[in-house]
Amino acid sequence: MANVIQIKRSASTNVPTTLAVGELAYSSASDKLFIGEAGSVITEIAGGAAMIKLAAIESGATADMTGAEIKVAYEGESDTNAFTDALLTKLTNIETNADVTDATNVAAAGAVMESDTTTAAMSFVIDEDSMATDTDTKVPTQQSVKAYVDTEIADAIASGVRYQGAYNASTNSPDLDSSPVSGITKGDMYTVTVAGTFFAGTALEIGDVVIAETDAPTLVTDWTIVQSNLDAAAIKSQYESNSDTNAYTDAAVTKLAGIEANATADQTGAEIKTAYENEADTNAYTDSEKSKLAAIEVSATADQTGAEIKSLYENEADTNAYTDAEKTKLTGVESNADVTDSTNVAAAITVAAPLTIDSSANMGVSDASTTAKGVVEIATQAEVDAGSDALKPVTAATLHATTIDGGTF
């Protein structure tokens, strides 16, 4: 009896063209095992595409990661951060090539510009003809200054300043500082010809002029005293010698000019933040935005084309093009795919009867019968010798003499 059985085989043809029912054939060219079935059907029962696909899937690959899981995995890598909706909105609101020194931007932020032609929107400018507010923090308009001066001049003219002659301050002649003083009316003016004391306290010098501000004046404050011999230094000295007066120096003028109208020095950080962010075209510059801005390299631009970005990225070390084909391939790989996972292995292998495979990737063969292929019981030597059993196969020991060869295709 034969001790070698060779099934039909080929090293160059991928699939046999004909097989008898139950006849096996193997192609080393396609690495597939075939069996012939009724109706001239040839069925692939092992090897081939399933094993190739399985070999191409990396260990641990899965197909069921959620968006949240992908987000966590991505942001867990070094030098990656969440590009949030808030950051997207912020970036969208930053104009291309934004420049904080641009005149248009500076003017829009509320700065006083040399090109401004009106003060209507400037809160530190006041238009008040009467100057009744008497504020030291606002600048009057040209019109209100002119109106005020015109009114004062008109009042002075209407009051009828009248020169009454000389005044001897030493002897109070004529009598100007008796209380009450009769016969003196508003606008009476005298020139001091002899120095002395006015109302027992105010010194008058030769050349000074006194003008009555009211009818029948009774107090020194009812008079205007014009001193004729004061130079700039003397005026400065006399002014600053009074209580609650101080030198208004050039430095102080420069400093005050640099302080905006209604400026305060007692606002809290929270108040300043609220006031600033309530202004048009201003927003909170948060810690997260500062961190984001710090992460943007110097001279970063927002106008690179997709092709330029792609080229720069792929020229870096350890970077490659993520092509549409690769994306499609990755999409087809399940999340956490695992080539050693029994469920995946079982799903990847296609078998045909009589071969079987369960969910744990355990392969088997069904029992054979007269109508189905499957597992059979080996015939004993006696049964082989008898040749009467139509189902049981023989062993090598019982079939030794001749090789049974299925041939090639």
Structure tokens given for 165: 């002659």
Say if 279 falls within a structural domain. no
Bridge partner residues of 47 (DSSP): 32
Say if 174 falls within a structural domain. yes
DSSP string, 313-347: HHTSTT-----HHHHHHHHTSPTB--TT-HHHHHH
Q: How far apart are CA 140 and CA 127, in angstroms?
A: 6
3-state secondary structure (DSSP) of residue 36: strand
How many structural domains is the chain composed of? 1
Q: First CA to last CA across the chain, in angstroms?
A: 25
Pair 34, 25: CB distance under 8 Å: yes
Confirm whether pTM is higher than 0.75.
Answer: no
Say if 295 falls within a structural domain. no
Say if 405 falls within a structural domain. no
Say if 146 falls within a structural domain. no
Say if 381 falls within a structural domain. no
pLDDT by residue (tens digit) across 366-375? 777 777 777 7
Q: What share of the chain is helix, strand, coil (3-state, %, to 5)?
A: 30, 15, 55
pLDDT by residue (tens digit) across 207-252? 999 999 999 898 999 999 998 776 677 677 777 778 888 878 888 8
Closest CA to 32 of 56, 7, 57: 7
Beta strands 32-37 and 24-27 are antiparallel
Structure tokens given for 2: 């034969």
Say if 105 falls within a structural domain. no
Say if 261 falls within a structural domain. no
Of the two residues 80 and 398, the one the predictor is more confident about is 80
Range of the domain at 210: 160-229
Closest CA to 197 of 226, 172, 163, 214: 172
pLDDT at 401: 45
pLDDT at 56: 64
Q: What is the mean pLDDT of the chain?
A: 81
Question: Hey, which bits of 270-386 come out as E strands?
Answer: 355-357, 363-365
Pair 26, 33: CB distance under 8 Å: yes
